[in-house]
């Protein structure tokens, strides 16, 4: 069996952000510039629609840990290296919509997968139920979490002494279990489960993983082409919460630039090649040609959405009262992302 292709992400530290327009350094100014970006007509030869490219930074507002440091800067850690594809398969870090089989490539419901995980790992299911009831998952404070019965190790893994990770069980791919696929040598894989339905050795296939592209894993051609079509069928590009460290993300922004699409970027910290994305832009433009903002998305996006819904003109900067009302309505994230 051939080894998975390993792609090393962009490793240079990005240059400091250059805010554009200059007024976008404040929250009201950023909202006004982004409003201008969206309401201004696209270049005459491009569609009126906009496409959005999001990265891991967008998830920070939902409570997931930020993999970068303070204000979006990368932490300097000489011993750091990313978790690559073969290692990630051994972990159960999440993705909310579906799981995919690494052998047959079929996708299955994440909800059904979680139900089977709970059945196969009752001690962990009980821990989760207690944590939900105590409110331990409603806080990021490790001391408060521990007080509410959820102990977390320094690496972020939950500690449950009487249920070590080595005993954690997970279900097999149902399709591979009923009809084991052939490997690269033409021999049929072995797929077995125990009496409870948990995947077991000597199985060589039928492993389920989150339906997301991992570090070191190549992007399927149909995903690549779909992303390119999304760029080609839009007239503007909004980039949110990504440093564009991966080439697959950077090349989409470069594709948009080559098509003459106005680009707006919301991300804390530097971004790969951002100086080239905004080169030659009129310094007096107010957002119609492009926007670069380095503010927190959980502050900016709800307020921006409220401004767009209310059709606040760029010259009418939102009042402090309206901004505070937007901050209190974080549920708008659901509307924006659904």
Active-site positions read: 93
Task: Give 235-262 pLDDT, tens digit per residue.
Answer: 999 999 888 888 888 999 999 999 999 9
Structure tokens given for 287: 């957002």
Residues 18, 254, 245, 60: is their CA dihedral positive or negative? positive
Neighbouring CB atoms inside 10 A of 58's CB total: 20
Residues 101-106: contacts with CB under 8 Å, at least 24 apart: 101/173, 101/175, 101/176, 101/206, 101/207, 101/208, 102/205, 102/207, 102/208, 102/209, 103/173, 103/176, 103/181, 103/189, 103/205, 103/206, 103/207, 104/173, 104/175, 104/176, 104/181, 104/205, 106/173, 106/175
Share of the chain above pLDDT 90, in %: 43
- The residues, any chain, with a CB within 8 Å of residue 308's CB and separated by 6 or more, are 35, 38
Task: Give 271-291 pLDDT, tens digit per residue.
Answer: 888 888 988 899 899 999 999
Between CA 155 and CA 11 the distance in angstroms is 23
Dihedrals phi, psi of 53, to nearest 5 degrees? -115, 115
Task: Give 69-106 pLDDT, tens digit per residue.
Answer: 555 555 555 555 566 666 555 443 335 678 999 999 99
Structure tokens given for 317: 């900067």
- Model-level pTM? 0.66
CA atoms within 13 A on the CB side of 263: 26
Between CA 268 and CA 290 the distance in angstroms is 17
| The pairing of beta strand 199-200 with beta strand 208-210 | unpaired
Structure tokens given for 59: 């998830």
Between CA 31 and CA 121 the distance in angstroms is 47
Residues flagged as binding site for Zn(2+): 101, 104, 173, 176
The 8-class DSSP code of residue 163 comes to S
6 pLDDT more than 60 = no
Task: Tell the CATH superfamily of the 22-75+219-337 domain.
Answer: TPP-binding domain (3.40.50.1220)
The domains of the chain are located at 22-75+219-337, 85-210
| 60 contacts 295 by C-beta, under 8 angstroms | no
Neighbouring CB atoms inside 10 A of 309's CB total: 11
Task: Give 202-217 pLDDT, tens digit per residue.
Answer: 999 999 988 877 766 7
Between CA 139 and CA 155 the distance in angstroms is 17
- pLDDT range class, residue 163, cuts 50, 70, 90: confident
For residue 238, the cross-strand partners are: 52, 264
Nearest partner of 19 among 324, 238, 334, 292, judged by Cα:
292
């Amino acid at each position: 069996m051939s080894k998975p292709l390993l792609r090393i992400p962009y490793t240079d530290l990005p240059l400091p952000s250059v805010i554009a327009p200059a007024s976008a350094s404040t929250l009201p100014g950023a909202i006004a510039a982004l409003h201008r970006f969206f309401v201004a007509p696209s270049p005459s030869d491009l569609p009126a629609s906009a496409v959005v490219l999001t990265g891991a930074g967008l998830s920070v507002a939902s409570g997931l840990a930020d993999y970068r440091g303070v204000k979006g800067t990368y932490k300097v850690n000489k011993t750091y290296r990313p978790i690559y594809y073969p290692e990630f398969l051994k972990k159960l870090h999440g993705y909310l919509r579906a799981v995919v089989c690494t052998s047959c490539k079929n996708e299955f419901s994440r909800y059904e997968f979680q139900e089977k995980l709970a059945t196969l790992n009752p001690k962990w299911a009980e821990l989760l139920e207690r944590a939900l009831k105590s409110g331990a998952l409603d806080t990021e404070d490790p001391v408060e979490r521990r007080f509410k019965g959820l102990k977390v190790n320094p690496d972020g893994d939950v500690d449950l002494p009487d249920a070590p990770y080595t005993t954690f069980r997970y279900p097999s791919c149902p399709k591979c279990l009923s009809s084991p696929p052939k490997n690269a040598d033409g021999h049929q894989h072995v797929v077995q489960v125990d009496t409870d339905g948990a995947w077991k050795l000597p199985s060589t296939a039928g492993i389920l993983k989150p339906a997301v592209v991992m570090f070191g894993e190549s992007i399927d051609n149909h995903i690549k082409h779909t992303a390119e079509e999304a760029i080609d069928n839009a007239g503007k590009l909004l980039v949110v919460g990504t440093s564009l460290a991966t080439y697959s993300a950077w090349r989409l922004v470069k594709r948009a630039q080559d098509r003459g699409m106005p680009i707006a970027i919301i991300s804390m910290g530097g971004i790969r090649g951002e100086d080239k994305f905004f080169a030659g832009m009129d310094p007096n433009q107010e957002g119609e040609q492009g926007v670069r903002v380095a503010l927190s998305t959980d502050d900016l996006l709800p307020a921006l959405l409220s401004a767009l819904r209310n059709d606040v003109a760029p010259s009418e900067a939102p009042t402090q009262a309206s901004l505070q009302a937007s901050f209190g309505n974080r549920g708008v994230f659901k509307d924006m992302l659904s």
